[in-house]
Chain A
Amino acid sequence: MTIENNVLVKLTEVGLKQRNKWLVKGVSLIVERGKIVTLIGPNGSGKSTTAKIAIGLHKNIEGNVEKFTDKIGYVPQKISIDWTLPLKVNDFMVLTDELDEEKINEALKLTGADHLKNQNLGNLSGGEFQRVLLARAVSKKPDLLVLDEPVQGVDFTGEIALYKLIKEIADKLNCGILLISHDLHTVMTATDHVICLNGHVCCSGTPKDVAMNSEYKLLFGEQASQTLSIYEHKHDHIHSNDGDIKKN
């Protein structure tokens, strides 16, 4: 397969119906090399489903998925490692691909998890585990990274650092990233294209466009009308720790 025009994956009007209910419908998106596309939306809006359609995890879908690469790194939303399976970070890193020691170390170092290499996966904290998951996904230098809520369980400072890291990885590996997040205010800055989902594409565009969009306001207004203003003005100023307000 060749990569034309840097497009890694292209979804055209895709949808998925399960038990007579549309999980998502009519979603089109393109992820290009070096670009970060972020899916936002409330719970149950079809973010994960869309990401899974993009990497071919759902069969019987409507619409068209064109994949121009097989080198995909995936960080799923929920992953639980059973205690019945004794698994060290080192073993987990080579789960789907053979990697030499150097590449494993490099990837773990990149996400700040190199000290965890000989730990048992079951003993990691939520944040540590997310770093290991991310390290595993980037270790084989994928063309496309699909990250489903990659910062869950990470504390707030760690969250910002991790998003910064994701941006760095995108630049360094020159890969495309499809990112899913529900806390939009932290992801907005690094993202090239935002798609706001609510079963269908509610609105999309640059982070700024989306933040100004009335449908977006309506969607998040319904969910939590009180936080709408916080979401909205997150984009033009920053609250610093001492309560001061800085313009962007």
Chain B
Amino acid sequence: MFDDFFIRALIAGIGVAFVTGPLGCFVVWRRLSYFGDTLAHSALLGVTMALAFEINIAISIFIISSVIAIILVKLEKNTNLPGDALLGLLAHSALAVGLVVIGFLSFIRFDVMGLLFGDILAVNVDDLIIIWGGGAIILIVLKIIWKPLFASTVNYELAEAEGLNPDRAKAIFTILMAAIIAISIKIVGLLLITGMLIIPTAMARNISDTPKKMVIFSICGGLLSVIMGLFSSLQFNTPSGPSIIAAALLLFVISLFKIKQTIQLKN
């Protein structure tokens, strides 16, 4: 049978996929992929903070990502720079500062590659509790804000005019983004988290015609990617994150044939 560490990684990855599916849909619908990247880059700073002050890594990442999100909102209001420039500024600054701080923390040895690309050996029981507990909270909160969030994704003014509160939904969603990055970093790695959010969703878009189907297929795609990726990671001794994302890419490519068929049927 498989080793314990692999079972733990599998359980963790499955937990992550359940959450990245629905969140990923909103990332794609609301065009937030670069925003997700920015939060993920800032996670490195979160990790160094966790090591320096000896606090839980997930909590530390969550705090730093939330702070970066707040700074972004403030900068958007108070500068004339376009959103993508601000995102780039924050993403790379956070990454650079994180790496500089690691340089100073010479007394701590840790695996930067594992942090960037995920490391299935690193998953322990505490991580499982954080992933499944945190994941459940994220999904419950998402379910609660679904209506205003979805309505404002379709049309902001329509949602607000008809008595929903899109600004609050958006703020809560930003926190959820920070949370998913915090809980999935060990499995996917910080450079590839956005891929986990986007690629299964992109695959789902190709084969669905309603939002609900897209969410379901996105979760299924994520689950398949995690399972395929982790098994190949074990088999070929590759880092877990890239293996999962490569599996997701494979599914996406397969889904392209489905589109081709649909287009042919239409003509």
Contacts and interface: CB of A to CB of B under 8 A. Distances in A.
Interface string B196-216: 000000000100111111100
Given A79-B155, A85-B153, A86-B214, A74 B208 contact: no
Interface residues of B, number: 25
Contacts of A84: 28-29, 31, 205
Interface of A is mostly: loop
Interface stretch (A30-38, A88-96, A153-161): A88-96
A120 interface: yes
A1 interface: no
Interface of B is mostly: helix
Nearest to A76: B157
Given A81-B154, A88-B210, A74 B161 contact: yes
A190 interface: no
A70 B155 CA distance: 19
A91 B211 contact: yes
A96 B164 CA distance: 7
Nearest to B201: A84
Interface string B128-154: 000000000000000000010011011
Contacts of B210: 86-88, 91
Given A52-B161, A96-B159, 8 more contacts: A56-B160, A57-B161, A76-B157, A86-B209, A91-B210, A91-B211, A91-B212, A92-B154
B209 A96 contact: no
Contact of A76 (B28, B155, B211): B155
A96 B147 contact: yes
B214 A76 contact: no
A91 to B, nearest CB: 6
B221 to A, nearest CB: 15
A239 to B, nearest CB: 37
A72 B157 contact: no
A81 B158 CA distance: 12
Nearest to A140: B162
B163 interface: yes
Contacts of A242: none
Interface in A78-131: 79, 81-82, 84-88, 91-92, 95-97, 120
Counting chain B CB atoms within 10 Å of each CB, the highest count among A57, A79, A96, A97 belongs to: A96
Contacts of A87: 154, 210-211
Counting chain A CB atoms within 10 Å of each CB, the highest count among B154, B159, B160, B161 belongs to: B161
B222 to A, nearest CB: 18
A190 B155 CA distance: 29
A73 B162 contact: yes
A92 B155 CA distance: 11
Contacts of B151: 95-96
A146 interface: yes
Interface string A52-67: 1001110000000000
Contacts of B205: 84, 86
Contacts of A70: 163
Given A86-B205, A86-B208, A86-B214, A96 B163 contact: yes
